[in-house]
């Protein structure tokens, strides 16, 4: 427990120093780093960015834009590495990265092969997979425009939830991490519900059009 608290404080201090030096772009840079090095927890950085915004250091819209941009930039770098290096060379590199397992990359690749676009979108809302899902997308050369759009949409939803939570909780921003798993499930359920409603409405429209003709 003491080590966890020390790690939390170290990450928080690092993120705060970036935001104090660079403003909202510092939050974006921290999230880009979190994408490139998955053990860095967005569940700490994002609420802290929201808390910093609540103190008037920068605007809430500004931090939402920069953190989403940071997510997309980090994801595009990993996508590019996947496309450039290929599966086997990337696996050898991952073996040398602290706290990241090759089995995690294998699971992300398996999930991508089964779900494709859905894996990229919903993967942005699952810790660790947020980063790793970009690798198989690059290896399989998913169309770049489609990948960027799905990554932006998924990142915007996830980032907004945690930044706004930190903004509203203020000094108690660290409490967000305790409920990260619940937030994750709620976000995925809400988005999945929205997509289901959209599909049902679209199918009804098509069915109505066919009957009218």
Tally Cβ neighbours within 10 Å of residue 158: 27
d(CA 203, CA 209): 10
Range of the domain at 66: 2-178
Tally Cβ neighbours within 10 Å of residue 144: 14
pLDDT at 165: 85
Q: Is position 90 within any domain?
A: yes
Q: How confident is the model at residue 1 (pLDDT cuts 50, 70, 90)?
A: very low
Average pLDDT score over residue span 129-152: 91
Q: Is position 167 within any domain?
A: yes
Written as six digits, the tokens of 107 are 């699971």
Average pLDDT score over residue span 89-114: 78
Which tens digits make up the pLDDT trace of 190-207?
A: 656 655 665 677 677 766
Q: Is position 170 within any domain?
A: yes
Q: Is position 171 within any domain?
A: yes
- For the cut 50, the answer to whether the pLDDT of residue 175 exceeds it is yes
Q: Into how many domains does the chain fold?
A: 1
d(CA 182, CA 109): 25
Cβ-contact 194, 79 below 8 angstroms: no
Q: What is the pTM of this model?
A: 0.76
- Nearest by Cα to 33 from 104, 143, 117, 130: 130
Q: Is position 25 within any domain?
A: yes
Q: Is position 126 within any domain?
A: yes
Q: Is position 207 within any domain?
A: no
DSSP H stretches of helix in 55-173: 60-94, 102-115, 117-123, 129-132, 134-139, 144-169
Phi, psi of 22 (to 5 degrees): -115, -10
Q: Is position 58 within any domain?
A: yes
């Amino acid at each position: 427990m003491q080590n966890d608290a020390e790690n939390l404080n170290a990450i928080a201090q690092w993120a705060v120093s970036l935001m104090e030096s660079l403003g909202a772009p510092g939050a974006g840079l921290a999230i880009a780093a979190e994408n490139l090095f998955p053990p860095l927890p967005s569940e700490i950085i994002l609420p802290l960015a929201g808390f910093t915004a609540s103190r008037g250091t920068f605007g809430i819209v500004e931090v939402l834009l920069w953190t989403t941009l940071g997510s997309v930039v980090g994801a595009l770098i990993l996508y590019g590495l996947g496309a450039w290096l290929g599966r086997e060379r990337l696996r050898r590199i991952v073996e040398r990265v602290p706290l990241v397992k090759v089995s995690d990359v294998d699971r992300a690749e398996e999930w991508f092969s089964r779900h494709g676009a859905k894996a990229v979108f919903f993967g942005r809302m699952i810790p660790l997979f947020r980063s790793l899902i970009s690798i198989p997308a690059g290896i399989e050369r998913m169309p770049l425009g489609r990948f960027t759009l799905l990554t932006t949409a998924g990142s915007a939803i996830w980032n907004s939830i945690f930044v706004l939570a930190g903004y509203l909780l203020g000094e108690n921003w660290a409490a967000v991490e305790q409920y990260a798993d619940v937030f994750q499930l709620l976000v995925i359920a809400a988005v999945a519900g929205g997509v289901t409603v959209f599909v049902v409405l679209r199918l009804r429209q098509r069915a109505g059009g066919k009957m009218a003709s």
